[in-house]
Chain A
Amino acid sequence: MLATDAPPSSFLRVPARAGAGRMRSRGDRVFRLLTLAAALVLPALVAAIGVQLWEASRLARERFGVGFLWHETWNPVASQFGALPFLYGTVVSSAIALALAGPAGVVVAIYLAEMAPSWISRPLGTLVELLAAVPSVVYGLWGVFVLIPWLRAWVEVPVSLHLSRVPLLAGPVYGPGLLAAGVVLAIMILPTVAAISREVLLAIPGSQRDAALALGVTRWEVIRHILLPAARRGIAGALGLGIGRALGETMAATMVIGNTARISASLLAPGYSLPSVIANEFTEASTPLYLSALVELGLLLFGVTLAVNVLARMLVRGAVR
């Protein structure tokens, strides 16, 4: 547009600068290709990991077929491998984590985004984000030495004494188990849920709040009827990212879940999760089939976490925009 408005005289001087322009555009092209290549490395890496897991698990896939997903036995001595106890433990511990951390995280986010004065919300918000950076082994150690003894003395033993008829709460009390794992995971994903939900709430235009308040609505009603519905997708995404972290958590889960490949109805019973069994048994897995079965567990975990994360990110992106 501007070029057509330019006077003809400057038009004549173009050739000399056109050369420079071509030079610049070649440099640009090279640069663009370089950045593109760098950007493509990431999806290529993810694809390569997927292909590698698929290939390395071939032996187990051929031997056990789809039945791998619902077989309950995991017996390295007899070379019988099924993924169900680990899928069960992973899902149940993550579900407990989500049930505890989800509501709590959203409440924290509402306080930080809507109610707290800025001299509280800023440092507190940073602190919440910092909690997400604590190494998981620290949470694991805390789980082993603080949480489990406390849970056993104040929750599990009393509960099993009085409610042992309820299958969900029955059984001998070890301390480590699905409940302990769920609580530790909940604490680990709480900062993720809270920090992202806060972002999502802050992304809602202030004019909406003002308009509602101008109509004489109380603050609670603003949150309940305007902000939460508007942030629904984003909060769902935050929960999804939280559960993504819980699903893949290895170290802390291993330290508190009890590492037992059995499915029991009780939440107090020890269980096992996909990442834990891989971390525990990989080093000493010596037969090809055993290794391959562990890799197939990795493939399952890879697929599940990838799907959950992609879904959650799509939800968050839709909400923040």
Chain B
Amino acid sequence: MHRRWVAAWALVGLGVLSLVGGVLLPGEGAPVTITGAGSTFDYPLFSTMFARYHQLHPDVQVNYQSIGSGGGQQQLFAGTVEFGASDAPLTDEQQRAHPTIVHLPITVGAVAVGYNLPGVGSGLRLTGDVLARIYLGEIVRWSDPAIARLNPGRRLPGLPIAVVHRADGSGTTFIFTSYLSAVSPQWAAKVGRGVSVAWPAGVGAKGSEGVAGQVRQTPGGIGYFEMAYAVQNRIPMALVQNMAGRWVAPSVHGASVGAAQAAARMPADLRAVFVNAPGADTYPIAGFSWLLVDSRRVRPALLDLVTWMIHDGQRYAAPLGYAPLPAPVVRRDEEKLRSLRAGH
């Protein structure tokens, strides 16, 4: 009886020893695990990128938890992850509290405005100002002259406008409310921008799929969601007027062009919000998603990964509905990475 126990414990002990040995005494090509957390918006892109990276570098395993931008920031501050991913930049206050956090634009997302108007197809025209007044609850019917004026020749139903917005905190909301703040002083004063805001009108639904579902179910509904989502689900999308006065549909190209315009005016810390960017082809409701790293804790393996993400990794963006980083932004990222490497 006793002997059998001794043998069993010896086996367990051996197992533990070999495990410890595997971790503590790495041989050639020891596996590296990089842990990150944050944006759910980035998750489809990141999971594709990291799977590919693991194929190219079998010794590197990236573990990304899509717990939300805010959660990613908190974990990075606490030092429990090596990188965070966020759809909104740190606020000035946060950046002051955590001066070693560095922003690296990693992809560009566009936000589409979809609607449900029986008998009206895709391509309804909306200006930023009208959109802001709809979301402020000032324009309440589709037959309102302000909308009719933009859409001559279209017969708009007299339906009440059912405004739908995201209920959960979201980078999509940040981009959308940044845009409304940029085009409407009234919106900027009354509501402002953020991942969650105090909505003056409408109902909230959870996730892009929730907003899209609600819009599809409600005749007279209007909502915003990630462009990829609207394209995949064939929801009629509005044309939005850009700075150049042209009516543009959301597209990967339109978002990338806007980001390229932004690169020139980008601040040194790369916290640029570029909604309503100039340019004839620019789609105005778009924004960066950032990778956040702590300059005190960057390993070469992490920098290698990020370098790959902003170059080769970008080719996985467009098929998934993200806009690839334009060249001028990639250059700004490279500069940052160089200084991080030098500081290391």
Contact = CB atoms under 8 A, between A and B. Distances in A.
B168 interface: yes
Given A149-B217, A254-B206, A258-B204, A284 B69 contact: yes
Majority secondary structure, A binding face: loop
Contacts of A259: 167, 203-206
Interface stretch (A30-38, A72-80, A206-214, A298-306): A72-80
Contacts of A174: 162, 202-203, 218
A282 to B, nearest CB: 8
Given A77-B198, A281-B169, A270 B70 contact: no
Interface string B150-161: 000000000010
8 contacts: A76-B194, A76-B196, A174-B162, A175-B218, A276-B167, A284-B168, A285-B169, A286-B90
Given A73-B198, A260-B199, 11 more contacts: A76-B195, A76-B196, A76-B197, A144-B213, A144-B217, A172-B160, A176-B203, A259-B206, A280-B168, A286-B91, A286-B195
A77 B68 contact: no
A284 B41 CA distance: 12
A75 B191 CA distance: 8
Which DSSP category, helix, strand, loop or mixed, fits chain B's interface? loop
Contacts of A177: 203
A283 B70 contact: yes
Interface of B: 40, 67-71, 73-74, 88, 90-91, 93-94, 140, 160, 162, 167-171, 191-199, 202-206, 210, 213-214, 217-218
A286 B73 contact: yes
B93 A287 contact: yes
A78 B193 CA distance: 10
Nearest to A174: B203
Nearest to B194: A77
Contacts, number: 106
Contact of B94 (A148, A281, A282, A287): A287
Interface in A170-186: 172, 174-177
B199 A285 contact: no
Interface of A: 73-78, 144, 148-149, 172, 174-177, 254-255, 258-261, 270, 272, 276, 279-287, 291
Nearest to A176: B203
B144 to A, nearest CB: 14
A261 B198 contact: yes
A-B pairs, top 4 by smallest CB distance, nearest first, are A284-B169, A283-B68, A259-B204, A259-B167
Contacts of A254: 167, 206
A286 B69 contact: yes
B203 A260 contact: yes
A286 B88 CA distance: 10
Contacts of A148: 217
A78 B192 contact: yes
B182 to A, nearest CB: 15
